[in-house]
């Protein structure tokens, strides 16, 4: 029943997204302005046939605009549930491939791993269990798993893409839709109770970056981390406006940066005393390679963070 509902909502979202992609808002605005100017001119020269044609044109534009707006609103309502954004046909369906291509170009993963070793003393070959709860297709984790053979990599996501990396050797992809808030349950189902590293790059933390949601996801992660456990998140500096400019420039083939703020910029203002009672926070690297380590604190009074 739930699977059926997912498919139908996904299909509906796909259709709405297609409509929004075909009819862009600025097409309507431009056509509307052109037809209004022509009809104004036609009225002044008393060419009523042309005025009629323009009015029919404007009525068609108004109708299409309504279809566009309805599709836009339906899609927005469906995508309030994040998994539909990344599902086939969703507005961010192609996000992963696009960013992966960009990160490969700037050698992001290698540089970040090197920075962790040099700047924080974190040697990936010494990690026992590495979990990526919002790993999407899991390509970065797969690459890491072929470099660090002694580490167990576990990847999953709220929405499972069809072309995710398949499980092999020290890389497990859990292919049921898994919410990061259920990390304890799905890890215990495969016999994992202590995690050394949680890798959450623009994932569940990003999407739960405010108030109680942020406290809650960080508390959920806290409970599965080993006593020395850490969370790794992305932390490049960037504003909302900068992200929008980058989206715009991408349309012209200029691949200049990320189309959104980093996880740390997203949560920075919401880090409160409850969060600081659970984690110490360290910055590692700079520029596009900036990462943050949230290191679990051993809290003697557990009551404080309940
Ligand atoms: C922007 S993508 C990032 C994917 C990947 N971490 C990366 O770095 O490329 C965000 C991902 O977070 C996932 N996500 C969002 N909220 C989640 C949650 N509560 N539990 C698990 N995954 C979640 C989405 O489904 C999506 O695949």
167 and 245 share one domain: yes
> Residue 22 burial by CB count (10 A; 0-12/13-18/19+): exposed, middle or buried?
exposed
Ligand 1 atom 9, closest CA: 96
Whether residues 109 and 231 fall in one domain: yes
The mean-pLDDT minimum among 35-44, 104-113, 155-164 falls in 35-44
**Residue nearest ligand 1's atom 7 by CA:** 201
Q: How confident is the model at residue 303 (pLDDT cuts 50, 70, 90)?
A: low
Structural domain of 162: 95-303
Q: Evaluate: CB of 290 within 6 angstroms of ligand 1.
A: no
What integer pLDDT is reported at residue 48 of this predicted model?
78
Q: Is the same domain home to 14 and 126?
A: no
| 58 Cα to the center of ligand 1, angstroms | 42
Q: Total domain count for the chain?
A: 2
Nearest to 264 by CA among 196, 209, 198: 209
* Residue 265 predicted with pLDDT over 90: yes
Q: Do residues 161 and 22 share a domain?
A: no
pLDDT at 1: 39
Q: Name the average pLDDT for the chain.
A: 90
113 vs 124: CA distance, rounded Å: 8
- Pair of tokens at residue 257: 């940066």
Pair 7, 65 in one domain:
yes
Q: How far apart are CA 124 and CA 151, in angstroms?
A: 8
Q: How many CB atoms lie within 10 A of CB 10?
A: 18
Contact 129, 155 (CB under 8 A): no
Kindly list the strands in the beta sheet with 152-157, ordered across the sheet, starting from the edge strand earlier in the chain: 171-177, 152-157, 129-132, 195-199, 225-234, 291-296, 279-284
Q: What is the pLDDT of residues 173-191, one digit of tens each?
A: 999 999 999 999 999 999 9
100 and 49 share one domain:
no
Residue of the CA atom closest to atom 16 of ligand 1: 204
156 Cβ below 6 A of ligand 1: no
Residue where a domain stops, chosen among 54, 86, 118: 86
Whether the per-residue pLDDT at 300 is higher than 60: the answer is no
**DSSP assignment string, 108-130:** HHHHHHHHHHHHH---GGG-SEE
Residue 105 shares a structural domain with residue 205:
yes
Distance 87 CA to ligand 1 centre (A): 11
pLDDT exceeds 70 at position 253 = no
| pLDDT: which is higher, 138 or 91 | 138
Residue nearest to atom 27 of ligand 1 (CA): 136
Residues 29 and 167 in one domain: no
Ligand 1 atom closest to 161 (CA):
27
Q: Which of 86, 106, 133 is the last residue of a domain?
A: 86
Which tens digits make up the pLDDT trace of 27-78? 778 888 888 888 888 888 788 788 888 888 888 888 888 888 999 999 999 9
**What is the rounded distance in angstroms from the CA atom of residue 267 to the CA atom of residue 259?**
17
Give the count of alpha carbons within 13 A of 254, CB side only: 7
**Are both 185 and 225 inside the same structural domain?**
yes
- What is the per-residue pLDDT for 302? 52
Query: Are 221 and 206 spatial neighbours (Cβ–Cβ below 8 Å)?
Result: no
| Residues 211 and 263 grouped into a single domain | yes
How confident is the model at residue 55, as a pLDDT? 85
Same domain, 236 and 299: yes
Which residue from 141, 194, 136, 192 is spatially nearest to 168, judged by alpha carbons? Answer: 141
| Shortest-distance atom of ligand 1 to CA 179 | 20
Choosing from 59, 86, 113, the residue where a domain stops is 86
Same domain, 147 and 179: yes
CATH number at residue 271: 3.40.50.150
pLDDT of 3 higher than 50: no
């Amino acid at each position: 029943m739930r699977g059926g509902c997912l498919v139908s909502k996904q299909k509906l979202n796909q259709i709405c997204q297609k409509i929004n992609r075909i009819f862009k808002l600025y097409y309507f605005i431009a056509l509307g302005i052109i037809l209004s100017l022509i009809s104004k001119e036609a009225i002044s020269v008393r060419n009523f046939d042309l005025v009629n044609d323009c009015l029919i044109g404007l009525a068609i534009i108004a109708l299409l605009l309504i279809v566009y707006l309805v599709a836009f609103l339906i899609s927005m309502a469906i995508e309030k549930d994040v998994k539909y954004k990344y599902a086939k046909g969703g507005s961010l369906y192609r996000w992963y491939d696009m960013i992966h291509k960009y990160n490969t170009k700037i050698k992001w993963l290698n540089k970040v791993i090197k920075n962790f070793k040099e700047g924080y003393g974190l040697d990936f070959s010494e990690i026992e269990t590495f979990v990526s709860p919002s790993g999407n297709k899991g390509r970065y984790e797969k690459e890491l798993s072929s470099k660090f053979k002694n580490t167990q990599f576990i990847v999953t996501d709220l929405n499972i893409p069809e072309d995710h990396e398949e499980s092999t050797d020290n890389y497990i992809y859990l292919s049921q839709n898994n919410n990061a808030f259920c990390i304890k349950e799905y890890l215990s189902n495969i016999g994992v109770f202590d995690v050394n590293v949680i890798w959450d790059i623009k994932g569940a933390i990003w999407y739960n970056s405010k108030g109680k949601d942020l406290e809650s996801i960080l508390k959920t992660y806290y409970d599965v981390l080993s006593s020395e456990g850490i969370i790794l998140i992305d932390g490049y500096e960037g504003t909302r406006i900068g992200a929008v400019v980058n989206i715009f420039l991408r349309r012209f083939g200029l691949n200049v940066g990320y189309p959104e703020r980093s996880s740390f910029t997203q949560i920075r203002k919401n880090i409160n005393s409850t969060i600081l009672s659970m984690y110490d926070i360290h910055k590692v690297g700079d520029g596009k390679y900036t990462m943050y380590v949230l290191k679990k604190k051993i809290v003697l009074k557990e009551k404080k963070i309940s």
